[in-house]
Chain A
């Protein structure tokens, strides 16, 4: 043991290798807890999801001027609705955090209340987005009108699809907590769900800035 243990203060002063102050590294202490591994793995998935979104953002940025004589972003975007959508999603991110705290505290009642509010806010966001899409298609500004609108519907629709999946996952988690309680595996799933929901809000910040706000400025 002494042959492989060297002083961490001299070999790795900033503990970049996560060397433990007592002189053994984390790997010597055995594998990381399953919660850490699950959370990290899901974090990697979310980052790849963000990379996929960045491809849609790049396509949108390239095609934003290709309106083919059709409407431009400044003509079709309604900022008050976007502001309301943003407020709903931001509030849902907060209530999702409250649900995580309630779950950590083992408080089922506040967990159900927070998750239910999160679901309602998420559904409100989706409702507004579907209203916007149906109005655009009604006025002949559907995804087939121009390359700009194809890119717009793909990017914003992909985010909306993620929110829909998130709401289904949210309801599943409420049912799982109802049936099984705050078991270790359920808590891991709740951690992943929280990460997913907060990441959707981060992607939405990029959407409302690059698509809607910068689209109406020009």
Chain B
């Protein structure tokens, strides 16, 4: 049974990331997947640029909305362009991605958090100058 498994590479139960066969089995389906991804990405990008410039939205909510739109667009890229799925043949790729996201969040949020506190606790430069006189 293992020989049958090995001789046909398309019957493997794992897929590399970016493999088109995760979604589609012919050219038309493949193009449709990319078109759907392109349409969603264009929509999200256009919304981001619109929200950044408009005065119709309450000011403080704009950065939050931009972050949400960016995360959504990254998801669209991952699903429609990189072909990351939730299927069992993609478990390894998803686990690696999850670990990568964990490190990115720790690094980014951790740095911003710590440096913000340091800035807060540091004496402003002009006060420091006065004390040295």
Interface of A with B (CB < 8 Å)?
15-16, 18, 20, 22, 24, 26, 28-30, 32-33, 35-40, 43-44, 47-48, 50-51, 54-55, 57-59, 61-62, 79, 83, 86-87, 90-91, 93-94, 97-98, 100-101, 104-105, 191, 194-195, 198-199, 201-202, 205-206, 208-210, 213-214, 216-217
Q: Is the CB of A20 within 8 A of B16?
A: no
- Report the minimum CB–CB distance from A57 to chain B (whole Å): 6
Q: Is the CB of A58 within 8 A of B108?
A: yes
Pull 15 A–B residue pairs with CB atoms less than 8 Å apart, ordered by A: A18-B13, A18-B91, A30-B6, A33-B9, A36-B16, A39-B16, A40-B93, A40-B96, A51-B104, A54-B104, A62-B111, A94-B34, A194-B18, A199-B82, A205-B77
Query: What sequence of 0s and 1s flags, for each residue 1-15 of chain B, a beta carbon within 8 Å of any chain A beta carbon?
Result: 110011001001111
Q: Is the CB of B74 within 8 A of A202?
A: yes
Q: 3 tightest CB-CB pairs across the interface, nearest first?
A: A39-B16, A47-B100, A58-B111
Residues of B in contact (CB 8 Å), total 56
Task: Return chain B residues, CB-CB under 8 Å to A47.
Answer: 96-97, 99-100
Query: What sequence of 0s and 1s flags, for each residue 95-106 of chain B, a beta carbon within 8 Å of any chain A beta carbon?
Result: 011011001100
A30→B6 CA distance, assembly (Å): 7
Q: Is the CB of B30 within 8 A of A43?
A: no
Q: Is the CB of B16 within 8 A of A40?
A: yes
Q: Is the CB of B107 within 8 A of A55?
A: yes
Instruction: Tell me the nearest residue of chain A to B8, going by C-beta.
Output: A33
A27→B51 CA distance, assembly (Å): 50
Task: Return chain A residues, CB-CB under 8 Å to B19.
Answer: 35, 39, 191
Query: What sequence of 0s and 1s flags, for each residue 61-82 of chain B, a beta carbon within 8 Å of any chain A beta carbon?
Result: 0110011011001100110011
Task: Return chain A residues, CB-CB under 8 Å to B30.
Answer: 97, 101, 104
- Report the minimum CB–CB distance from A93 to chain B (whole Å): 6
Instruction: Tell me the nearest residue of chain A to B99, going by C-beta.
Output: A47
Q: Is the CB of A18 within 8 A of B88?
A: yes
Instruction: Tell me the nearest residue of chain B to A58, going by C-beta.
Output: B111
A156→B91 CA distance, assembly (Å): 32
Asked, given contacts A83-B49, A202-B77, whether A217 binds B17 with beta carbons under 8 Å apart, the answer is: no
Q: Is the CB of B16 within 8 A of A217?
A: no
Task: Return chain B residues, CB-CB under 8 Å to A194.
Answer: 18
- Report the minimum CB–CB distance from B120 to chain A (whole Å): 13
- Report the minimum CB–CB distance from A75 to chain B (whole Å): 15
Choose one: B14, B41, B53, B96; the contact of A32 (CB below 8 Å): B14
Task: Return chain B residues, CB-CB under 8 Å to A50.
Answer: 100, 104
Q: Is the CB of A105 within 8 A of B27?
A: yes
Choose one: B5, B16, B37, B115; the contact of A43 (CB below 8 Å): B16
Choose one: A39, A83, A206; the contact of B18 (CB below 8 Å): A39
Asked, given contacts A43-B96, A47-B100, A206-B70, whether A29 binds B6 with beta carbons under 8 Å apart, the answer is: yes
Q: Is the CB of A26 within 8 A of B14?
A: yes
- Report the minimum CB–CB distance from A20 to chain B (whole Å): 7
Asked, given contacts A33-B12, A93-B81, A195-B82, whether A213 binds B17 with beta carbons under 8 Å apart, the answer is: no
A58→B42 CA distance, assembly (Å): 27
Knowing that A38-B16, A195-B18, A217-B52 touch, tell me 4 more A-B residue pairs with CB under 8 angstroms. A26-B13, A90-B38, A93-B81, A214-B66
